[in-house]
Structure 1
Amino acid sequence: MSIYHQLTDSYQRQFTYLRLSVTDQCNFRCNYCLPDGYSAASPDPFLSLEEIQRVAAAFALNGTKKIRITGGEPTLRKDLADIIRICKSTPGIETVALTSNGYKITQQLPALVDAGLDQLNLSADSLEPANFEMITGHNKLQEVLAGIDLAISLGLKRVKLNVVLMREFNRNELSKFLEFVSNRPISLRFIELMQTGDNVEFFKKQHVSGAEIQQHLEQNNWLQVLRDPHAGPAVEYTHPHYEGNIGLIMPYSKDFCSSCNRLRVSSHGNLHLCLFADAHESLRPYLTQESSAQLAKRLQHLLGGKKETHDLHEGNSGSTRHLAMLGG
């Protein structure tokens, strides 16, 4: 497949990674995201399989190599295996990843791998069952951990466990999280809590700087590894005595946006140039009116509106009310 043109913005950043939300529904009630549960933000239907195919093809024509399927919680879509199959069969797409809360992941994962899934991210913001349930509203820690082990046994290329850092809920579990990767070939990634429209007070009380964890790692002989060109924003560390790695996602760190390589499309077909942008562009009208090549050209034009950096440092989270809207 010939690439029409590499997606490059006015700051010479190249975009080879698409985060594609397929639903904004979520069955967890995480205290930092949806403490009151899911409430539909739009009456419009989610992207259909045909629309997803068109989105994937247009991005692939622009050099996208990796698609991460997100939600909300993507496993709530009964056609998730078909979505994965469509993305993986799109010429030019090399890697299809999935981010899930792991609610029933052990039941679904074999079929998703058969459909072409390459990578899996699950979440466990605590390794203590009672604390996990308090954070998420569900007693599902053992299912998530079983999903990690199953993903490893099925031979997925990369398996990751996400942990949102919170001062009062899991900062004291650092040693447990490090021990968890001592004999598992996974990447455990600490993610700084990000301020959104709905969690301002919670953020002020619970935010932990990733620099605290980074300092601990570097003082204990963890070494930074080179970043894969199509990878996400994590700064990753390895240690000779640990089978797994530790990653840090620090959106409040200096120059975080300089290595940005990802764009987002919401479950309703909106192009978001940044997770924390004020505006977005609806692609839905063009998904039926334009060919993949025409849509690919349109994406290049729209990319010209991408800013150099987010405004999180000024307390501006744009139009993002909560992370379930776009899957982070």
Structure 2
Amino acid sequence: MLENVVKDKYDRPILSLRITISNRCNENCLYCHHDGMVSSKDEMTPDELYKICKIAKRIGVRKIRLSGGDPLVRKDIVEIVEKIASLDFQDISLTTNGVLLGKYAEDLKKAGLDRVNVSLDTLNPETYKKVTSMDYLKEARAGILKAVEVGLYPVKINMVIMKDINQNEIKDMFEFCKEHGIILQLIELIESENCDDDKFSANYHYPLEDLENKLADIADDVRERKFMQGRKKYYLNDGEIEIVRPVDNSKFCANCSRLRITPDGKIKPCLLRNDNLVELISHIRKNESEEKLEEIFLNGINNREPFNTD
């Protein structure tokens, strides 16, 4: 199953690459990291993104995820997906806030996008505005339903759980997801390095361990995703909930099979660290050989460190 796949020094296969293609966004969420801020004129071009994905394919990466900011703010997003799809990956997905998804969903499907994850933390207009600083809930919901309609399957909703903001809205979101055949991913909040409030994490962090235990008790079935940080999927009442807990969760790192690219073109070996980035885009812009670029990728992989090696 894992032939021709590069593994890091802790024997974790690198199966997935997540590329932040823009940190521009039409919302301003409380918890946003704004990783590696760059201006629109300095964003990686479709051809540069194609070359990054081509090298990733050489080392055995099977899945590509495009993220932001919001990737749909890029007017060339359909071209980007078309170029990457030509490399014949097993799966190409995109994470968006859904505001522009109604506009692009059909064209993205035709271009080769397989599925979408939509960041939506609430179905309550007041909570939505508090979290995003915007009033686009109607557009986001319409975008989600359009994605379901055109077959960007499975559609997933990423719901970041925040204390005293939306922890009481999980049931409503689950019912919405069940109604439309959507998978609900509940995400434990991690600290934002760019939030003005030094007490951000303490104020809003809501641990999901107790919720996981409750789900385990009532679920019809529980499955663990071996190569996705050991995440567990809970099946109940014809619906599906997945829990993402990167905080104090050794399984999250020990089972991680994902490498990341920042919007300014650096390899980011670890989600929770920014002190081991590896420069990549300048080498691509110098037209260095694919062999040299592959060597740089391998250097980034060699920088990966698990939260817990036990």
Same fold (TM > 0.5):
yes
Q: Aligned AA for 2:109?
A: V
Q: Which residue, 47, 53, 56 being the options, matches 1:56? A: 53
CA contact (8 A) 2:128 2:135 kept: yes
Inter-partner Cα distance in structure 1 for 2:232 and 2:3? 31
Superposed displacement of residue 301, structure 1: 3.1
What do the CA deviations read for 1:145-181 (whole angstroms, capped 9, x no partner)? 2222221221223210011110111011122122223
Q: Which residue, 227, 240, 246 being the options, matches 1:245? A: 240
The answer to whether the aligner puts 1:151 opposite 2:127 as a matched pair is no
Superposed displacement of residue 123, structure 1: 1.6
Report the counterpart of residue 320 of structure 1 in structure 2: none
Superposed displacement of residue 74, structure 1: 0.6
What do the CA deviations read for 1:80-102 (whole angstroms, capped 9, x no partner)? 001111111114x1211010011
Q: Relative contact order (alpha carbons < 8 A, sep ≥ 6): 1 or 2 greater? A: 1
CA contact (8 A) 2:36 2:264 kept: no
Other structure's SS at 1:182 match: helix
The answer to whether the aligner puts 1:259 opposite 2:255 as a matched pair is yes
- Which deviates more, 73-82 or 197-206? 197-206
Inter-partner Cα distance in structure 2 for 1:32 and 1:144? 18
The answer to whether the aligner puts 1:8 opposite 2:7 as a matched pair is yes
Superposed displacement of residue 233, structure 1: 5.9
Inter-partner Cα distance in structure 2 for 1:14 and 1:110? 33
Superposed displacement of residue 295, structure 1: 1.5
Report the counterpart of residue 290 of structure 1 in structure 2: 288
1:310-325 alignment runs, 5 A limit? none
The answer to whether the aligner puts 1:85 opposite 2:88 as a matched pair is no
Other structure's SS at 1:125 match: coil
Inter-partner Cα distance in structure 2 for 1:4 and 1:47? 30
Identity %: 28
C-alpha spacing 1:232/1:77, structure 2 compared with 1 (3 Å): farther
Other structure's SS at 2:233 match: strand
What is the TM-score when the length of structure 1 is the normalising length?
Answer: 0.85
Extract unaligned runs of 5+ from structure 1. Answer: 311-328
Report the counterpart of residue 166 of structure 2 in structure 1: 170
Superposed displacement of residue 40, structure 1: 8.4
Other structure's SS at 2:65 match: strand
Report the counterpart of residue 279 of structure 1 in structure 2: 276
Inter-partner Cα distance in structure 2 for 1:122 and 1:149? 11
Superposed displacement of residue 45, structure 1: 0.5
CA contact (8 A) 1:222 1:238 kept: yes
C-alpha spacing 1:40/1:189, structure 2 compared with 1 (3 Å): closer
Inter-partner Cα distance in structure 1 for 2:47 and 2:221? 44
Q: Which residue, 40, 43, 48 being the options, matches 1:46? A: 43
Inter-partner Cα distance in structure 2 for 1:191 and 1:73? 18
CA contact (8 A) 1:20 1:267 kept: yes
Q: What is the aligned length?
A: 301
Superposed CA RMSD in Å reads 2.3
Report the counterpart of residue 18 of structure 1 in structure 2: 17
Inter-partner Cα distance in structure 1 for 2:253 and 2:57? 23
Inter-partner Cα distance in structure 2 for 1:160 and 1:20? 18
What do the CA deviations read for 1:9-51 (whole angstroms, capped 9, x no partner)? 11000011000111111121112227xxx89834570111221
Inter-partner Cα distance in structure 1 for 2:117 and 2:83? 20
Q: Aligned AA for 2:277?
A: H
Inter-partner Cα distance in structure 2 for 1:268 and 1:47? 7
What do the CA deviations read for 1:32-84 (whole angstroms, capped 9, x no partner)? 227xxx89834570111221111000000011111000011111111000111
Q: Aligned AA for 1:221?
A: A
Inter-partner Cα distance in structure 2 for 1:4 and 1:291? 24
Superposed displacement of residue 308, structure 1: 2.0
Superposed displacement of residue 4, structure 1: 10
What is the TM-score when the length of structure 2 is the normalising length?
Answer: 0.90
CA contact (8 A) 2:226 2:255 kept: no
Report the counterpart of residue 76 of structure 1 in structure 2: 73
Q: Which residue, 89, 95, 99 being the options, matches 2:91? A: 95
Q: Aligned AA for 2:210?
A: E
Q: Aligned AA for 1:15?
A: I
C-alpha spacing 1:289/1:166, structure 2 compared with 1 (3 Å): same
The answer to whether the aligner puts 1:28 opposite 2:24 as a matched pair is no
- Which deviates more, 244-253 or 299-308? 299-308
Q: Which residue, 123, 129, 132 being the options, matches 1:127? A: 123
Q: Aligned AA for 2:242?
A: G
CA contact (8 A) 2:21 2:44 kept: yes
User: Could you list the runs of 4 or more consecutive aligned residues of structure 1 that deviate by over 4 angstroms after TM superposition?
Assistant: none
CA contact (8 A) 1:123 1:144 kept: no
C-alpha spacing 1:233/1:136, structure 2 compared with 1 (3 Å): farther
Other structure's SS at 1:225 match: strand
